[in-house]
Amino acid sequence: MDSNFFRALALVLRSEGGWSDNSADPGGPTMKGVTLANFRRYVKADATKADLRKISDDQVATVYRRFYWDAIAGAELPAGVDYAVFDFAVNSGPTRAAKFLQAVVGVGQDGRIGPGTLAAVRAKPAGVVVDDLCDARLGFLERLPTWSKFGKGWRARVASVRKQALLMATAPAGKLASVQTPAPTTSAPAEPAKPVPAPPIPRKPEDPAPKK
């Protein structure tokens, strides 16, 4: 649902950190999860690092909407499913998130959420899709070679996404605004997020997602 975008974005940004410019990070300068490359692509073609550091809330929303939300057809997904897929896309790439969603609803995994995928998603209760997707996402993370080092945080991230997505999925129509967005916590992010040093989640070449 498109009306869920800003709530979903607020939840995602809890884990995306602030400014980072580590020469060892292939993604380069990043602010609130927005890379300089994507800032130039979607907001200001000649942007500098200084411009990125001063990125406005509206500009952050522009990048996340166009690079992630639109890529996973967030406006057309059921409440709760939209956030679960969006968060997955931010940390592991839109194509991977789309393929995992397609897998759990039993359609071809081409990484593009179109009419067939949307129909299959809507044919199942949103809560079931959320649970199945979070289970599949956790399974993916558990297979990563760095699970022993970062698994605790990753597990917590997926658990938080599951909880919030299920709340959104079960909220009565028109009552989503009353579902409170939790305040930031000091717990470790579940997937590599600035400024916490952590390895990137492996992506396939076609997943054009910023580094984490």
Helix (H, G, I), strand (E, B) or coil at 208: coil
pLDDT band at 196 (very low <50, low <70, confident <90, very high): very low
Stretch 8-22: mean pLDDT: 88
Stretch 1-16: mean pLDDT: 89
Residue-wise pLDDT tens digits, 146-189: 899 889 988 999 999 999 999 999 987 655 544 444 444 333 33
Residue whose C-alpha is closest to residue 92's, from 18, 127, 45, 143: 143
Residue with tokens 């690092």: 49
Residue-wise pLDDT tens digits, 71-102: 999 999 999 999 999 999 988 889 999 999 99
Structure tokens given for 18: 């602030």
Report the amino acid identity of residue 210: P
109, 141 contact by CB (below 8 A): no
* Residue 174 confidence (pLDDT): 57
Distance CA 52, CA 40 (A): 9
Q: Which domains, ranges and CATH numbers included, belong to the chain?
A: 2-178 (1.20.141.10)
Give bridge partners of residue 20 from the DSSP assignment.
30
CA distances from 210 to 32, 47, 89, 147, 163 (A): 11, 17, 10, 21, 25
